[in-house]
Amino acid sequence: MGESDRYIDYKDKRPKKAWLGREGNSLVSLLALNAIFTLLMLVLKVSFYFNQQNTNAFNESVLQWMILPDGFDKAIQRPWTLLTYMFTDSGNALLALLANMFWLWSFGYVMQKDAGNDKLIPLYLYSGFGGAIFFLIFNTLNGNWLMGSQIAVFGVATAATVYSPQYRILTHLRNGFPLWSVYILFFVFNLITITAAPISLGSALLGSGISGAVFSLLLKKGTDAGLWMNRLYDKIIHVFSPAQKPSREELRKTIFYKTGDRHPYQPSGNQNQKRIDELLDKINTNGYDSLTEIEKEILRKAAEE
């Protein structure tokens, strides 16, 4: 029986949200958001054609309000583009979008698995914001613009490689390949794509890569730069969907496998009730994944007694 089968989902009674901090959903949410935005742009573009309007009309009426313009002065007038640009694609580069989603799935899975599900969306946003800032610094009033998921995905890939460089993929082929070797291939792929606009895309990728690397380095030192995003999201969600956190006694009954009404733990010489209560409080606040391996082992031993 695996660890995921041993414990019952205790977190809350609300329907699961495919957003920040929800178990197993962050990567799927990012993939879905990119697909939805691209599909929306494609549908709008087709509607312009049906109304006998050309691409320029679509760009002026829709696309320019979603992409990141050059220069801080223009960006200040459209601050939402700092967010929307990293999910927006005009629909002209379907193969590029599929490639970006492949890389996001590949590196995002590693980051989600090793660092935690609640780290992925903040990382994606930090990477996109970092790329946007560098783009605005180095591309003031040069007529270029920025859009697409490539920039944010580059930051996710960099973060995953910094966090778990020796993570092995394709292990069915001998011993597999370390993640850093796949990152080299990914890096070369991005170098090829920026040849058309080396300053614009290059500066954005540089900012995104730095943001991703810093995020992982801080995480390794115990600082979660995305924690405030998750807490803010939870507060907003609780406003519209309030739910009472489970009591400590309810946690005792649900965190252990099939305990029912039986008290799951009695104090022993090695583990006292106060320690178990502290761990249950930690789970209630930050989730089961926030426990260290030693703390998880304490709960496992308590469940067996």
Cβ(168)–Cβ(107) below 8 Å: no
Question: 72-90 b/e with 16+ CB inside 10 Å = b?
Answer: eebbeebeebbebbbbbbb
Distance CA 59, CA 276 (A): 59
Distance CA 164, CA 15 (A): 32
Instruction: Please give the pLDDT value at position 283.
Output: 73
Report the top-level CATH class of 18-231: mainly alpha
Instruction: Please give the pLDDT value at position 94.
Output: 75
Instruction: Please give the pLDDT value at position 305.
Output: 61
Q: Where are the domains of the chain?
A: 18-231, 245-304
Distance CA 277, CA 68 (A): 49
Instruction: Please give the pLDDT value at position 255.
Output: 58
Amino acid at 139: N
Instruction: Please give the pLDDT value at position 270.
Output: 45
Cβ(155)–Cβ(128) below 8 Å: yes
Instruction: Please give the pLDDT value at position 42.
Output: 85
Closest residue by Cα to residue 155 from 177, 178, 186, 181? 186
Q: Would strands 145-146 and 68-69 be described as parallel, antiparallel, or unpaired?
A: antiparallel
DSSP helix/strand/coil, 111: helix
Binned average pLDDT, 10 residues per bin, the chain of 305 residues: 37 40 73 90 86 82 89 90 88 76 94 92 96 89 81 97 92 84 94 82 94 96 93 81 60 52 46 70 70 78 69
